[in-house]
């Protein structure tokens, strides 16, 4: 059976970095499930289709090819916004969760990161991590990243965006973002990603 590490948390908390580090360390397959929502949203935007039609969005989600997902192509702000809108639709979630569960069975193990992995996608995962940080710290990381890449950014706008996205993810009826009861909480506001990785590694080693 595949060994699953489920990682959840809000945007820019450090989940992705942690997930990649764990996958590399253990030779596990990694799926950033946010990309599945982003790719569904991009397919709708590219085709000039409405983001409000559940049946059309579901069709896009069912047709999604998990092997072609690339964060570089899907990172645009409008795509993230659109992704969080299609992510409230139950038929879209059902289609993507089915694909994510299939992925989670890959041997020898998998790391999935997102918003509902420990609660809905892989509730039986032997290791569940909930990675978070304060909205200020997360907005600051986004801001610093844009500046480091030579871009321009408005901190207040990013901060407002982080809070809106949190509200939408935590407030939706279907699969809201919340820690699984048995998740290990890692708050990266004060803790380095390295320290979070070591905490995660020790529980993985214990349960592997």
> Residues annotated as binding site?
9-17
Given the complex with ligand C5P, which of 80 and 123 has the nearer CB atom?
80
Q: Is 80 in the site for ligand C5P (CB under 6 A)?
A: yes
Q: Which residues 124-153 are close enough to bind ligand C5P by CB under 6 A?
A: none
Q: Is 188 in the site for ligand C5P (CB under 6 A)?
A: no
Given the complex with ligand C5P, which of 14 and 114 has the nearer CB atom?
114
Q: Is 169 in the site for ligand C5P (CB under 6 A)?
A: yes
Numbered residues of the known binding site for ATP = 9-17
Find residue 168's DSSP bridge partners. Answer: none
Pairing assessment for the beta strands 109-114 and 3-8 based on DSSP bridges: parallel
Rounded CA-CA distance 196/16 in Å is 12
As given in the structure block, the two tokens for residue 199 are 């905490």
Q: Rounded to whole angstroms, what are the CA distances from 151 to 23, 51, 134?
A: 30, 28, 24
Rounded CA-CA distance 189/14 in Å is 10
Q: Which residues 32-51 are close enough to bind ligand C5P by CB under 6 A?
A: 33-34, 37-38
Q: Is 84 in the site for ligand C5P (CB under 6 A)?
A: yes
DSSP 185: E
Rounded CA-CA distance 4/122 in Å is 8
Given the complex with ligand C5P, which of 87 and 127 has the nearer CB atom?
87
Q: For binding to ligand C5P (CB under 6 A), which residues are involved?
A: 11, 33-34, 37-38, 80, 83-84, 87, 114-116, 165, 169
């Amino acid at each position: 059976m595949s060994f699953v590490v489920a990682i959840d948390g809000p945007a820019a908390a450090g989940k992705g970095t942690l997930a990649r580090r764990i996958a590399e360390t253990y030779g596990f397959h990694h799926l950033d499930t946010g990309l599945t929502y982003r790719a569904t949203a991009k397919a709708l935007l590219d085709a000039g289709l409405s983001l409000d039609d559940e049946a059309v969005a579901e069709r896009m989600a069912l047709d999604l090819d998990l092997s072609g997902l690339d964060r570089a192509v899907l990172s645009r702000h409008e795509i993230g916004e659109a992704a969080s809108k299609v992510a409230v639709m139950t038929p879209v979630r059902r289609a993507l969760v089915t694909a994510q569960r299939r992925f989670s069975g890959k041997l020898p193990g998998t790391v999935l990161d997102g918003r509902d992995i420990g609660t809905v996608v892989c509730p039986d995962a032997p290791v569940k991590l909930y990675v978070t940080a304060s909205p200020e710290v997360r907005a600051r990381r986004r801001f610093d990243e844009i500046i480091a890449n030579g871009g321009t950014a408005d901190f207040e706008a990013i901060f407002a965006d982080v809070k809106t996205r949190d509200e939408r993810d935590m407030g939706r009826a279907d699969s809201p973002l919340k820690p699984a009861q048995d998740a290990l909480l890692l708050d990266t506001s004060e803790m380095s990603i390295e320290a979070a990785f070591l905490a995660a590694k020790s529980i993985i080693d214990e349960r592997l």
